[in-house]
């Protein structure tokens, strides 16, 4: 395993700039996810690390060595893609051993290596079968086995689960993470699925339009989004204009439309700088709906439930406060509020993030 460093990588396709200066470190043995909407440049970045694409500028280092000009087959990387493309007319052993063909592995060592890879992906004994005799999830595990059989320094995974149906995808993400834990290989995983990223990653790199928006642990990017883009992409956020009324050493006091004054811990408002206006991010699940008044001193507003999206344990409410519509996700205790209900929305200042306007 090895550490990967990207230094100010750019990539242009003709006049189109797909990556605008990406700098990031992928620690040895860590699982890092490139997360962002379709077209933001995740695959392009991964392809540059793999050697399938050349950066327009910037450096890629693996284990401290600049590899920009090292050809793909000399980078010792394991690759897993969405269409895992097993060879249909070769058996599983041959499919897995394919990765070893162009390496100096003595022929007599191959069966043991294949067996070991199959053990790691928890599919022992399927050497003689053909891909069509395995389920989609099993085929995906074979694709993993093929990638890890070469004992790669880095494993690159481009939306490897997106071809699977929802249930299998959830199962496979646990399995895939377990495989990575077992071999401890530095892994770079691409997805547009925030829940996959939150569940699997040591670190998430959030991307938008060829830019890195934020790098942090799942908890950091979720609870301390650095930009409105990140706040909007991960989870459900309500984002409002606010005015700064007062500042002191450990908090800022804001005037939040409809909610009135709220004192926000400074740690939650580091993005505000010394601006007099800002934007407050209120997570849908951090707002609380009640049919009684808010606790004394808590910032709250009277609202009306406009729509209810029942989700079993949870309900997603669309509530209106005058001109303002907010989304609130709450656990259902007893019965959910019904459409038309008059409620109080209370916000928790400790759970809000304030950004520059
Ligand atoms: N070979 C290429 N030629 C021209 N444009 C490309 C090429 N590859 C990718 N792009 C463009 O670069 C942008 C990023 O693409 P990609 O990295 O595939 O995004 P993602 O994987 O995040 O969906 C897109 O606008 C895409 O159309
Ligand atoms: Mg892609």
Answer left, alpha or beta for residue 41, where phi above 0 means left and psi between -120 and 50 means alpha. Answer: left
Minimum CA distance residue for ligand 1 atom 2: 13
Where exactly are the structural domains of the chain? 4-228, 236-356
User: 133 CA to middle of ligand 2, Å?
Assistant: 28
Mean pLDDT within 91-105: 89
pLDDT of residue 84 exceeding 90: no
Which residue lies with its CA nearest to atom 17 of ligand 1?
41
Q: In 3D, which of 1, 191, 228 has the Cα closest to residue 80? A: 191
Over residues 102-120, the pLDDT tens digits come to: 788 899 999 999 999 999 9
Which fold is adopted by the domain 236-356? OB fold (Dihydrolipoamide Acetyltransferase, E2P) (2.40.50)
pTM of the model: 0.93
Mention the CATH class of domain 4-228: alpha beta
With a CB cutoff of 8 Å and minimum separation 6, the contacts of 127 are: 91, 92, 93, 111, 114, 115, 118
Query: Atom 18 in ligand 1: which residue has the minimum CA distance?
Result: 43
Per-residue model confidence as pLDDT tens digits over 319-333: 999 999 999 999 998
């Amino acid at each position: 395993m090895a550490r990967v460093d990207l230094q100010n990588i750019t990539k242009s396709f003709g006049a189109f700039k797909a990556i605008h200066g990406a700098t990031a470190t992928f620690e040895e043995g860590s699982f890092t996810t490139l997360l962002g909407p379709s077209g933001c440049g995740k695959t392009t970045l991964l392809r540059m690390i793999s050697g399938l694409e050349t950066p327009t500028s910037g450096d890629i280092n693996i284990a401290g060595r600049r590899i920009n000009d090292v050809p793909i087959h000399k980078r010792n990387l394991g690759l897993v893609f969405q269409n895992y493309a097993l060879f249909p007319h070769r058996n599983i052993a041959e499919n897995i051993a394919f990765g070893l063909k162009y390496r100096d592995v003595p022929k007599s060592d191959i069966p043991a290596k294949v067996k070991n890879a199959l053990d790691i992906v928890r599919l022992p004994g399927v050497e003689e079968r053909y891909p069509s005799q395995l389920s989609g999830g099993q085929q995906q595990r074979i694709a993993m086995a093929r990638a890890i059989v070469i004992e790669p320094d880095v494993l690159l995974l481009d939306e490897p689960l997106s071809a699977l149906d929802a249930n299998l995808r959830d199962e496979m993400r646990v399995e895939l993470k377990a495989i990575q834990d077992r071999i401890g290989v530095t892994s770079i995983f691409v997805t547009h699925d925030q829940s996959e990223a939150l569940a699997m990653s040591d670190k998430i790199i959030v991307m938008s339009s060829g830019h890195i928006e934020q790098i942090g642990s799942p908890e950091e990017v979720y609870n301390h989004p650095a930009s409105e883009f990140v706040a909007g992409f991960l989870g459900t956020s309500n984002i409002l204009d606010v005015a700064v009324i007062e500042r002191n050493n450990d908090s800022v006091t804001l005037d939040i439309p409809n909610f009135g004054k709220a004192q926000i811990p400074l740690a939650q408002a580091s993005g505000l700088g010394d601006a007099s206006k800002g934007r407050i991010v209120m997570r849908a699940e951090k707002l609380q709906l009640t049919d009684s008044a808010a606790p004394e001193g808590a910032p709250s507003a009277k609202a009306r439930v406009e729509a209810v999206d029942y989700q079993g344990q949870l309900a997603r409410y669309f509530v209106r406060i005058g001109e303002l519509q907010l989304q609130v996700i709450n656990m259902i205790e007893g019965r959910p509020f019904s459409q038309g209900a008059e409620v109080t929305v209370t916000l928790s200042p400790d759970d809000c993030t304030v950004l520059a306007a």
